[in-house]
């Protein structure tokens, strides 16, 4: 025992002993604080429990008309979930009699509150306006899944029906001025949004996060030159593409090219009313307000947006297409396809 830590009737005293006692007190305080934080989160959390897995189109071949014919599209018929706080729709606690496909994350839907700061929202809006002012034009054309006035840009990397990942036409087939503006927008998303998404992804769906990291390694290998020339396309494996548009998708649809087991992350900036995320098969609609991020299995859940009744809404969907995931995770295909 060191001379500085001498035994007394009240126990061992000295610098080392004081440090140990202080560390113990701090650990207890941290534990107490953690419990308070957890309790506060749970008080502001809404869990919506479903009785059945939404399997209507889980194994179906892409057919937008079939989805529209089978699913109601009146937002007023749906139950509204809370506007604020965390919202989750779990899959893991369904009744034993309900068959849930393997390979899916624990939640069908999660909405995270206070995720994007007001400053980041304003900077995203400014960069989006710069893209529009640059003269950038969507290159992918009209999609049968969308309404006539639903025009979106798809930036980043995907495979869709190819054998290898490639940079989307909306990203590469633009004027030099437009490319500068697009890169500025994507760089901001990568620097200030992607890391937060990666954190919640890894925390809430670790198995699917590992699959995304394998996909990321493959994309880095195949597109090394493209990523070196345009580092704004590197989102760290949290997602590989970003769809951007104004308004919402008014037709009920399924995102057929998304991976069944991987969330799409949706957030919006602006000042608007309406545009709730509507899931008719689940019988619910969920507001997505400024600052919130919404994670959903968009290849599983048939969905549409309620009308924007007032204001301007710029919506960003960070997603990964099916083949980008499955070509790096061939065993996943046998589980969830």
Q: Tens digit of pLDDT for each residue in 312-328?
A: 999 999 999 999 999 99
Share above pLDDT 90 across residues of the chain, in percent, rounded to a whole number: 76
At residue 44, the pLDDT reads 78
**Would you state the pLDDT for residue 28?**
60
> Mean pLDDT over residues 183-204, rounded?
97
What is the structure's pLDDT at 30?
A: 56
Q: Could you please report the per-residue DSSP string of 126-177?
A: HHHHHHHHTT----S---TTS-TT---EEEEEE-TTSSS-EE-HHHHSS-HH
Report the pLDDT value the prediction gives residue 334, as an integer from 0 to 100. Answer: 43
Q: What is the pLDDT of residues 154-170, one digit of tens each?
A: 999 999 989 999 999 99
Radius of gyration for the chain, computed over Cα atoms and rounded to the nearest angstrom: 23
- Cβ contact 178:135 at 8 Å: yes
The 10s digit of each residue's pLDDT in 58-100 is 999 999 999 999 999 999 999 999 999 999 999 988 888 888 9
pLDDT score recorded for residue 41:
44
Q: Is 252 helix (H, G, I), strand (E, B) or coil?
A: coil
What's residue 4's pLDDT? 52
Q: Does 47 score more than 70 pLDDT? A: yes
pLDDT at 227 over 60: yes
Q: Are 226 and 292 in contact (CB under 8 A)?
A: no
d(CA 303, CA 185): 27
Kindly state the average pLDDT of the residues 235-253.
Answer: 96
For 278, the token pair is 């509507």
Q: Element (H or E) spanning 66, and its range?
A: helix 64-70
- Overall average pLDDT of the 128-142 stretch: 90
What angle in degrees, to the nearest 10, is found between the helix axes of 194-204 and 176-192? 40
The answer, yes or no, to whether residue 3 has pLDDT greater than 80, is no
Residue 205 has pLDDT above 80, yes or no: yes
Question: What is the per-residue burial (b if ≥16 Cβ within 10 Å, else e) of 169-200?
Answer: ebbeebeeebbebbbbbbbbbbeebbebbbeb
Asked if residue 25 has pLDDT above 50, the reply is yes
Give the pLDDT band of residue 18 (cuts 50, 70, 90): low
Q: Cα separations (Å) of 195 from 185, 223, 263?
A: 15, 21, 15
Q: Enter the DSSP assignment of 50.
A: P
Tally the C-alpha atoms within 13 A of residue 66's C-alpha that lie toward its C-beta: 9
Beta-ladder partners of 110? 88, 295
Pairing outcome for strands 107-112 and 308-319: unpaired
**What's phi and psi for 203, nearest 5 deg?**
-70, -45
pLDDT, the chain, mean: 89
pLDDT surpassing 50 at residue 286: yes
Question: Tell me, what's the pLDDT at 40?
Answer: 44
Q: What tokens were used for 188?
A: 């901001």
């Amino acid at each position: 025992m060191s001379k500085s830590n001498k035994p007394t009737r009240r126990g061992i005293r000295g610098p080392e002993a004081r440090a140990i006692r202080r560390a113990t007190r701090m650990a207890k305080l941290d534990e107490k604080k953690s419990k308070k934080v957890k309790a506060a989160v749970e008080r502001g959390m809404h869990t919506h429990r479903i009785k059945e897995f939404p399997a209507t189109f889980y194994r179906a071949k892409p057919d937008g008309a079939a989805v529209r014919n089978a699913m109601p599209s009146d937002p007023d018929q749906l139950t509204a979930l809370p506007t604020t706080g965390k919202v989750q729709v779990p899959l893991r606690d369904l009744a034993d009699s309900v068959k849930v496909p393997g390979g899916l994350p624990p939640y069908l839907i999660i909405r995270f509150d206070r995720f994007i700061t007001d400053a980041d929202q304003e900077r995203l809006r400014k960069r989006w306006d710069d893209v529009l002012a640059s003269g950038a034009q969507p290159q992918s054309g009209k999609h049968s899944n969308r309404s006539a006035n639903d025009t979106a840009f798809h930036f980043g990397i995907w495979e869709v029906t190819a054998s290898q990942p490639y940079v989307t036409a909306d990203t590469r087939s633009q004027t030099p001025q437009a490319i500068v503006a697009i890169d500025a927008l994507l760089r901001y998303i990568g620097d200030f949004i992607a890391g937060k998404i990666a954190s919640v992804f890894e925390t809430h769906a670790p198995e699917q996060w590992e699959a995304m990291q394998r996909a990321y390694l493959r994309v880095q290998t195949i597109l090394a030159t493209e990523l070196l020339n345009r580092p704004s396309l590197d989102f760290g494996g949290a997602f590989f593409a970003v769809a951007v548009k104004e308004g919402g998708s008014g037709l009920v649809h399924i995102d057929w090219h998304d991976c069944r087991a991987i969330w799409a992350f949706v957030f919006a900036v602006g000042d608007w009313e309406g545009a709730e995320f509507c899931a008719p098969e689940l019988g619910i609609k969920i507001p997505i307000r400024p600052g919130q991020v919404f994670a959903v299995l968009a290849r599983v859940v048939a969905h549409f947006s309620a009308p924007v009744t007032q204001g301007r809404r710029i919506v960003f969907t960070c997603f990964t297409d099916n083949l980008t995931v499955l070509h790096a995770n061939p065993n996943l295909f046998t589980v969830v396809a």
